[in-house]
Structure 1
């Protein structure tokens, strides 16, 4: 059986990629890091106009009611561009959380989701384990901060800044404020939000890995040693071939996870995609740094934007060990295993 994206998915991905081809994305990422969110918000507005924030929001709450695969396609291109902002949180995690809660209390979804779908409302969410800190991305620049702690969900107050390996992923501690929901339904919403965010994050990693491979391939064609482009050396060819193989093997797992979000295998498949995409992107980052040499270390060189992004995203939605543990638990107990087990 051959699985491939439909022409519609391919066209949608191409339209998202085109948004970032103006050459201003890298400057927007640097401005976001430096405290000027205006260029980044202009990009976010373009994404919202393309429908990227309302893809998995139902029509009842002002969204497009599209397939999770559509969102994956969009986030691969977002990762390819290393776009700034709490995009995973606003477009994937928070909509999944609020729509799951809507089964018992639709008021929060009615209040926030239409604005999120339009791009006029931004949101972020922090997950905590037992006794853990709640840390959220860009909590000082969003309209809605949520704190998800096991079977309790509430709004959050912004606390102190936390240093991030990626300056464009600005982290803050948050403290729970107003309680929105608690109990089994809240736990279900937390699990849904975590898996939705993990899937979108995996797509971002795959896109970043593709961007790093493209940058490396272009560079080795130009960089010369001993009078020859370094791309002609077998060792360099093999290294980049390994990167390509890793990305190509991760992509079907990502697509499968998108197709099983409504099944009992959601947690297992999402974690499998997370591990594969993180490993492939990290391999791409290491290879890119090695073939670029010393210039790859410089913050002024755009390659650094993807290197730091991959480093940060690799553990942003759970470490590889956490996700391997979820896969092992699902295989041990069967598909009915609690998908939120790793969060409580």
Structure 2
């Protein structure tokens, strides 16, 4: 079976790129890290206008009720541009936990941003200080929660919070919500890896050393080619996992975990190669590359680290 995006999905991705390309996303990320979410919320409002925040919300609550592949299309582009905020939690996970709850409709406008703690894969909630709705899962049920102690993340725009459940829990498809969380994170990693590769290639075409652009050196070519291969191999695994999740396949956990591992490794390779290509300047706070480097490191462990997901893949064969 050959899988490819249809024209509508390609147009959707292009519209996201056009909107985010016109916005100063790096400035919004830096402001978010400093506690000012206003620029970031304007970006979220733009995404809401494009239908991103409504993708997984049921049609009964003015959502789109889209297929997981559409979610992957969006999350890959959001990862590419490095949009701040709890993308995975608010766009992918919360709508599943709130399937029969009218609050899911409030996510559509983008004004309500949700975050989720779902142990053991996601024991803490990201950006709980900014989120208007905090959810927690336990024993196959979901409940509202409140933020407790905060913890620094390698990505300063993603502070992590312990949460305490409040109110009465309700029955929810927690397992499915978690798989959506893993899938959306994997898609963002693929997008971030592609962005790092594109930035590195562009820099390699401009930077000169010993009278030659560094991109003409074989060592640089091979390094970036390896990144290209890793990203291109991870991407179909992510879309394959989306198809598996959408069809309710019994192999969903295996497929989603395999996608997360591949995306995490591709993102890490892209980050390392990007830093090596740019040199030390790439890790300075003033350089936009540093924002993607930190985002990749944070997303690698979000919703389960590679070791956890390798274990899930192995368990599927035992």
SS at match of 1:178: strand
Question: Structure 1 residue 138 and structure 2 residue 122: aligned?
Answer: no
Q: Is the CA contact (8 Å cut-off) linking 2:122 and 2:304 kept in structure 1?
A: no
In structure 2, C-alpha distance between the alignment counterparts of 1:67 and 1:231, rounded to whole Å: 40
Q: Is the CA contact (8 Å cut-off) linking 1:32 and 1:40 kept in structure 2?
A: yes
- The residue aligned with 1:218 is 202
> RMSD of the TM alignment (CA)?
1.4
- The residue aligned with 2:310 is 324
| CA positional deviation for 1:70 | 0.8
Question: Structure 1 residue 264 and structure 2 residue 250: aligned?
Answer: yes
| CA positional deviation for 1:163 | 0.7
| CA positional deviation for 1:98 | 2.2
Question: Structure 1 residue 151 and structure 2 residue 135: aligned?
Answer: no
- The residue aligned with 1:75 is 75
Alpha-carbon distance change, 78 to 152 in structure 1, aligned in 2, over 3 angstroms: same
| CA positional deviation for 1:266 | 1.4
Question: Structure 1 residue 124 and structure 2 residue 120: aligned?
Answer: no
SS at match of 1:128: coil
In structure 2, C-alpha distance between the alignment counterparts of 1:284 and 1:33, rounded to whole Å: 23
Q: Is the CA contact (8 Å cut-off) linking 2:128 and 2:161 kept in structure 1?
A: yes
SS at match of 1:11: helix
SS at match of 1:2: coil
Q: Which range is displaced more, 148-157 or 190-199? A: 148-157
**What is the count of residue pairs matched by the alignment?**
316
In structure 2, C-alpha distance between the alignment counterparts of 1:63 and 1:3, rounded to whole Å: 26
In structure 2, C-alpha distance between the alignment counterparts of 1:216 and 1:268, rounded to whole Å: 32
Which runs of no fewer than 5 residues in structure 1 stay unpaired?
100-105, 333-344
Q: Which range is displaced more, 86-95 or 40-49? A: 86-95
In structure 1, C-alpha distance between the alignment counterparts of 2:301 and 2:15, rounded to whole Å: 29
- The residue aligned with 1:341 is none
SS at match of 1:76: helix
In structure 2, C-alpha distance between the alignment counterparts of 1:5 and 1:115, rounded to whole Å: 29
Aligned counterparts, 1:21-36, within 5 A:
21-36=21-36
Question: Structure 1 residue 164 and structure 2 residue 153: aligned?
Answer: yes
In structure 2, C-alpha distance between the alignment counterparts of 1:229 and 1:323, rounded to whole Å: 40
Q: Is the CA contact (8 Å cut-off) linking 2:143 and 2:167 kept in structure 1?
A: yes
In structure 1, C-alpha distance between the alignment counterparts of 2:85 and 2:23, rounded to whole Å: 18
In structure 2, C-alpha distance between the alignment counterparts of 1:150 and 1:118, rounded to whole Å: 30
Q: Which range is displaced more, 115-124 or 286-295? A: 115-124
Alpha-carbon distance change, 11 to 156 in structure 1, aligned in 2, over 3 angstroms: same
In structure 2, C-alpha distance between the alignment counterparts of 1:137 and 1:219, rounded to whole Å: 32
| CA positional deviation for 1:149 | 2.1
In structure 2, C-alpha distance between the alignment counterparts of 1:79 and 1:9, rounded to whole Å: 17
Question: Structure 1 residue 245 and structure 2 residue 244: aligned?
Answer: no
Question: Structure 1 residue 44 and structure 2 residue 30: aligned?
Answer: no
Aligned counterparts, 1:58-207, within 5 A:
58-99=58-99, 106=100, 109-110=101-102, 112-129=103-120, 134-181=123-170, 185-186=171-172, 189-207=173-191
Q: Which contiguous aligned blocks of 4+ residues in structure 1 show a shift greater than 4 angstroms? A: none
SS at match of 1:260: helix
SS at match of 2:316: helix
| CA positional deviation for 1:133 | 9.2
Q: Is the CA contact (8 Å cut-off) linking 1:154 and 1:176 kept in structure 2?
A: yes
In structure 2, C-alpha distance between the alignment counterparts of 1:323 and 1:179, rounded to whole Å: 31
Which runs of no fewer than 5 residues in structure 2 stay unpaired?
none
Question: Structure 1 residue 288 and structure 2 residue 274: aligned?
Answer: yes
| CA positional deviation for 1:246 | 0.4
